[in-house]
Amino acid sequence: MRAKHVMSKAVTITADATLRDAARVLVNSRFSALPVVDEKGAMTGIVSEVDLIRRVVGDAGDPTQLHAHLGDPDSQQALATPVVEVMTREVITADTETPLEDVATLILKHQKKRIPIMRDGSVVGIVSRTDLVKAMLSHGALVTQPPPEAPKTDGALRRQVAEAVQKLNIPLGGSFDVVVRGGSAHLWGQVASHEEDRACEMAAAQVPGITGVMSHMQVVPLHLR
């Protein structure tokens, strides 16, 4: 599973916005942070509720009362501050194709609540801690295993066994042939010694998907063929 499979829609704010603008979006949308983008849509930073609280409410303020400060006369000067003055410029991001377990590692390592998800230089989504929890509940585990490889057909195994035996460069006589039934390989033809017969059996047995090997080959010295 990758970031694009669980990311939430990204709500951004422009670089020329004020903290008042950011506060309104944060309060109304209930997001905890907003990526800041320039006129071309490229991300220049991220402004969080913590940035607003420190500038508007103060370190000792109650973040749940942020909406009350929007109409407080004492907060107007602080609210007029451009977001670029308080935003975090160094932002930890991930790509839409980033495996979800790698996103989780970034969140834990850098102690972030969310990671912006990028595509071609633009913010296209957000993966938050809540999104990770949803993924775990939906799929049973954050780290998913790839689907099992489809079993190979007897025809495909037959070709692979024949190629494996022929790579031994053993002189094969008697119209060498391979028959595979239900994953079990049967070898037909002629070899010059029991050692060569055994080598052919071992080569066939090492082909992935082969469950057993039976040799029907005759041992006939080369000078008698």
Does residue 148 form part of some domain? Answer: no
The pLDDT tens digits of the residues spanning 153-210 come to 888 999 999 999 999 999 988 778 898 888 899 998 899 999 999 999 999 999 999 9
Q: Would you give the DSSP letter of residue 188?
A: E
127 and 172 housed in the same domain = no
Does residue 146 form part of some domain? Answer: no
98 and 171 housed in the same domain = no
Which of 82, 115, 139 is the C-terminal boundary of a domain? 139
Q: How many domains does the chain have?
A: 2
Does residue 213 form part of some domain? Answer: yes
The pLDDT tens digits of the residues spanning 75-109 come to 677 788 899 998 999 999 999 999 988 999 999 88
128 and 184 housed in the same domain = no
- pTM comes to 0.53
Q: Are 45 and 89 in contact (CB under 8 A)?
A: yes
- Residue by residue, DSSP assigns 30-76 as --SEEEEE-TTSBEEEEEEHHHHIIIII-TTS-GGGGGGGGG-GGGH
- Where in the sequence is the domain holding 192, given as residue range(s)? 154-224
